[in-house]
Chain A
Amino acid sequence: EVQLVESGGGLIQRGGSLRLSCEASGFTFKDYWMNWVRQAPGKGLVWVSRINEDGTYTAYADSVKGRFTLSRDNAKNTLYLQMNSLRVEDTAVYYCARGPRMAVAGTWYTWFDPWGQGTLVTVSS
């Protein structure tokens, strides 16, 4: 069974740091892009960051650029999100999501599947 399990969330003061982890199982982790997506309480989904298969390329939402760092350890089948200088507006459930890619008629498509159960990060003022 393909599974993603996040951990590392919790209550942290504004300006603090947290590291989220996402442990993957049931698939060949090193063959996939991986993503983080967050959801503030009662709000919609917001993409946070993406990393390629070998960790050499990352992309970030502007709202976290310079504060968050995405990395992976393919030997441990684990994705990490280092979050520094946390703000109250970073409060959300953080989901890790696999990013499969498929070529259709010569064009590559990607999506988020599956998603982990999420880990809640609460930043207090």
Chain B
Amino acid sequence: DIQMAQSPSSLSASVGDRVTITCRASQSITSHLNWYQQKPGRAPKFLIYAASRLQSGVPSRFSGSGSGTDFTLTINSLQPEDFAIYYCQQSYTTPYTFGQGTKLEIK
């Protein structure tokens, strides 16, 4: 199975900050990398597919990059509603696997 590792596991930031979350795959997944946001008690929300393509309706302050094994999710100008847990997920092959999550907290 392909292992996905996110860093950091948690992150404190302020409204208006720029933050970057890293996701590393245990083998090349080319660009088959998705990102999700999850708030407490809610289902995950899909943000980005194919490593860098923003889902319709997702604010442009979110961006993704990377290919192969190393990927990043960047959030520019953090808004209060962005504080949540973020997961990366590889869709290169089954079993599909997720990173362990990055909890983004308000400083």
Tell whether, in the assembled complex, residue B43 and residue A117 are in contact, meaning their CB atoms are under 8 Å apart.
Answer: yes
Residues of chain A within 8 A (CB-CB) of B83 are none
Q: How far in angstroms is the closest Cβ of chain B from A102?
A: 7
Closest to B45 in A: A115
Contacts across chains A and B counted by CB atoms under 8 Å: 63
Tally of chain A residues near chain B (CB < 8 A): 24
Interface residues of A in 71-113 (CB under 8 A from B): 95, 102, 104, 107, 109-113
| Residue among B38, B53, B55, B96 with max Cβ neighbours from chain A (10 Å) | B96
The residue in chain A whose Cβ has the minimal distance to the Cβ of B85 is A44
The answer to whether A61 touches B95 (Cβ under 8 A) is yes
Residues of A within 8 A of B94 (CB): 47, 50, 59
- We find that the number of chain B residues with CB closer than 8 angstroms to chain A is 26
Contact A109 B49 (CB under 8 A): yes
Asked whether, in the complex, the Cβ of A109 is within 8 Å of the Cβ of B100, the reply is: no
* Interface of chain A, main secondary structure: strand
Is A8 interfacial (CB-CB < 8 Å)?
no
Assembled-state Cα–Cα distance A71/B61 (Å): 39
The winner among A45, A95, A111 for most chain B CB atoms within 10 A is A111
Question: Which chain A residue shows the least CB distance to B93?
Answer: A59
